[in-house]
Amino acid sequence: MEQKRTRLKQGQVQVYTGNGKGKTTASFGLALRAAGCNMHVVIIQFMKVSGHYAEDEGIRRLGETVEHYTFGNPGWVKKGQGTEADYAQAKAGMEKAREVLQDPDVDLVILDEINNALWFELVTEEEVLALIKDRLPNIELVLTGRNAPEAIMEAADLVTEMREIKHYYTKGVPVRRGIEF
């Protein structure tokens, strides 16, 4: 069993976007790998409610080096017309993100669905660009979600587009526990 903790000298900014499946799960795969060398990981999920997704329990099982927070409300958000509660959750998520991106003990930060929060106008591009720019340089930062804006992709060091070539939902396969949520 690995005891030593890996620390990064220089963190990179990664973006997982596109309409194909795999953005959230790819970022969690990275958390799994980082946890394997005792890196301090913080996962912040935007527009998601705790208790619904199986990853809540999965992440908990990775142990204490992985922290996990969700900021969202049940129900759908209308683009540009979030409720007070939607904006409050997004704001709290951004505050948490700012805090952990300044923490010298943190190695990897995942902002899951932040591109979605941008798309639905719950957070602004300026705020997210500031997060990227002002983070401690040793922190690896991953931003996920469809429709990543051009400016965010430009600010990133790595951009991967999950492109849907085929998806079983077109055959009527419903979302499945443990696979989609």
Residue with tokens 């099982």: 61
Nearer to ligand ATP, 91 or 146 (CB): 146
C-alpha distances (whole Å) from 8 to each of 12, 15, 21, 45, 60 are 10, 18, 29, 23, 23
Least distance CB 85 / ligand ATP (angstroms): 21
Distance of CA 32 to the CA centre of its chain: 14
Q: State yes or no: residue 135 binds Mg ion (CB under 5 A).
A: no
Q: What is the DSSP string of 122-155?
A: SS-HHHHHHHHHHS-TT-EEEEE-SS--HHHHHH
Q: State yes or no: residue 58 binds ligand ATP (CB under 6 A).
A: no
Q: Does 31 bind ligand ATP (CB under 6 A)?
A: no
Residues in region 22-81 near Mg ion by CB under 5 A: 23-24
98 interacts with ligand ATP by CB under 6 A: no
Q: CA-CA distance, 28 to 84, in Å (whole number)? A: 29
Q: Residue 6 has what DSSP assignment?
A: P
Is residue 165 involved in binding ligand ATP (CB under 6 A)? Answer: no
Give the contact letters, 114-133, x = binds to Mg ion (CB under 5 A), - = no.
--------------------
Binding site for ligand ATP (CB under 6 A): 21-25, 146, 162, 169, 175, 180
